[in-house]
Amino acid sequence: MKMIKNYIGKFKRNSLFFKMFLVMVTSIVTVSICITFAMIQMSEKLFIDQFSITNAKVVEQITSNFENYSYSTASVMHQAQQSGTVKNFLIDKNTEPIALAKATYKIKQQMDYYDSLLNHDGVNIVLMGENNRSFSTNYVKWPFPQEILREHAITLNAYKNPNQILYQYASQDPVDTAIPSIVATKALMDRSNNHIYGVIYVSLRENDFRQMYSRYTGNGNDVYLMDQSGRVVSSNKKAIIGQNESDLLKQVKDIENHNLELKQVNVFNKDYLLFSSYLPTFDMYLINLIDRENVQKNLVDKKTIVFISAIIVLITLCIVFLISRRMTKSLSGLVKEISDMSKSNFDFYVTESGSYETKQLAKSFNYMLDELHEYVEQLIETQKKQRNAELEALQQQINPHFLYNTLASVKFMVQQGDREKSVETIHALISLLQNTIGNINETNTVEQELDNLKNYVYINQMRYGDRIKMHYFISPECLACEVPKLMIQPFIENAFFHGFNQKKEGYIQLLISQREEELLCEVVDNGDGMEIESRSNLPKSKGKRHFFSGIGILNVQERIQLLYGEKYGIEVDSILGKGTRIRIRLPVIKSK
């Protein structure tokens, strides 16, 4: 009985240690089991995801190779359609030997040029006309007799679709042993009467066509080019070329209909990862099949994962036991010392003693007290700055140089006899002074700010000319929103006087719109631009003078963040030689 009481008392004295150790043991074991299980379950998925990213790039590269070939083919067919030499060769029925020799010589020169445009080994360009004439640049590469070609399905399809370039599979029927080819066909038509006078064929033997993707294939990594009927037009698997694989086409259609990146399928009696991409120029599907068994060989061994996890758990438990036992004594003392601290006495510092962890906690606690003192001081300073900013906003004055130069410009207009412009300039100045000096509010509506800007810009254009155009794009729902007084004017001023030192003409645009709960004001110019390190950098004035007010650009940023918080402010995008874009983000506050 006494022994039991001793154990109970010992447990109470070390309850913190036992509780902490029990929680850590339970947590470590649970987390380890979950991580091990999740790792085993996710290893395959993660590997497949990474593999799909890499394989998508491979498919993209193959697609790019096909598109380059298609572009060259389309260029040749377009030029052939426009060529008078080709048309004359295919419609001329003169069989005189000399005339026929001249026509053949001309068409050979033309076709040699087309062949150079394609610049692909194994290509054969064939012309066949209604006048029974034909010409081939490389008959050995596609030895198709004219009598068979004229009645072949690829020719009939070209006649049915005279405005399209068709890519079709062709073998030298009825010779089953012939090398298959991918043939692009286009009917040549007289646009004046829609009469088809011939057909142009660009053939490429399948083994030459295969070179565009063969280096991306390997053991367990196969590529197929399949038409809409399910026929395999080209593949690194030679035995399957020309066969109709309806099951594979069905899987590809399923990927397309559901917009999938990949799909796990069972075809050819094996499990594969299926990637596919539709090639609109060919009207075919590019298919990539990855042998799933080969992929699984690269996965992490499950037994190794379990064994390593078990070792880590055992080592961790030993370390936790030693550390927790050492920490609890000094930690208990630290907790007692902190609990005894008066709640209002922020100058109280705890003793930094005990284990390393306890010392670090004590240091952190004392550092927190120092930070608290600093924060209180910063808060007081911020309140002072805010009050000063509010006072400054009420005490803004017009720059005397602006008034002097404006009045001087009016005087010059009067002397020149331009009474209408001088009167308009004076009206603009009076309105500007009324809205700026007479209005003592910290904020204006967008409509009021817009009136001030228009007056300001009008005065400057009267003084300096209208080589810099000003455009306004304001959403009607934003006119009643409140903005800090003279918030936009410094950026217009900066763009007007500093943005067009190299360029002599240009434009400045003001765009104001509402996006959800934010008011977005943008000042855009196509001036000289400037170098900035990041979007948060603000443009600096090129001198200490301000042409209108005492409010600088940096002051606008401070005012916005003082009024509305650090969430709002100014962003700058600028490119040398192209211009600058200023974005001002504010909360949406409607005028009452």
- The arithmetic mean of pLDDT across residues 58-85, rounded, is 90
CB atoms near residue 77 (< 10 Å): 21
pLDDT at 172 over 90: no
- When pLDDT is cut at 50, 70 and 90, the band that residue 558 belongs to is confident
Instruction: Count CB neighbours of 503 within 10 A.
Output: 16
Percent of the chain with pLDDT over 70: 77
Rounded CA separation 580/379 (Å): 35
Q: What stretch of H or E contains 460?
A: helix 446-464
- Residue 547 is predicted with a pLDDT of 43
Residue 256 lies in a domain: yes
Is residue 358 included in any domain, yes or no? no
Q: What is the CA radius of gyration of the chain?
A: 40
Last residue of a domain, one of 296, 326, 352: 296
The DSSP output letter for 544 is S
Structure confidence at residue 355 as a pLDDT band (50, 70, 90): low
pLDDT for residue 512 is more than 90:
yes
Q: For residues 399 and 422, which has the higher predicted lDDT (pLDDT)?
A: 422
The answer to whether position 319 is within a domain reads: no
206 and 247 belong to one structural domain: no
Report the pLDDT value the prediction gives residue 47, as an integer from 0 to 100: 65
Looking at the structure of the chain, the number of domains it has is 3
Q: In whole angstroms, give the CA distance from residue 47 to residue 518.
A: 42
Residues 193 and 274 both lie in one domain? no
Assign residue 450 the CATH number of its domain: 3.30.565.10
So what's the pLDDT on residue 457?
87
Residues 191 and 227 placed together within one structural domain of the fold: no
What is the average pLDDT score of the chain? 80
Which range, of 46-50, 84-88, 155-159, 514-518, averages the lowest pLDDT? 46-50
Domain boundary among 181, 210, 239: 210
**Residue 172 placed within a domain:** yes
For residue 350, pLDDT beyond 80: no
List, for residues 175-215, the tens digit of each pLDDT value.
444 678 899 999 999 888 889 999 999 999 888 888 888 88
Q: Which of 42-46, 95-99, 373-377, 464-468 has the lowest mean pLDDT?
A: 42-46
Domain enclosing residue 569, as ranges: 396-587
Within a domain: residue 258?
yes
Percentage of residues in the chain having pLDDT higher than 90 = 23
The CATH number covering residue 236 comes to: 3.30.450.20
In a domain, residue 73? The reply is no
Comparison of pLDDT for 145 and 408, the residue scoring more: 145
Identify the band that residue 394 occupies on the pLDDT scale cut at 50, 70 and 90.
very low
Whether residues 177 and 250 fall in one domain: no
Residue 80 has pLDDT above 80, yes or no: yes
User: Three-class SS of residue 479?
Assistant: coil
423 and 452 in a common domain? yes
- What pLDDT score was predicted for residue 404? 64
Q: Are residues 138 and 188 in the same domain?
A: yes
- 206 and 233 co-located in one domain: no
Average pLDDT over residues 225-238: 91
Q: Are residues 285 and 412 in the same domain?
A: no
Is residue 406, in this structure, part of any structural domain at all?
Answer: yes
Same domain (yes/no): 160, 189: yes
Same domain, 485 and 537: yes
Q: Longest C-alpha distance within the chain, in Å?
A: 131
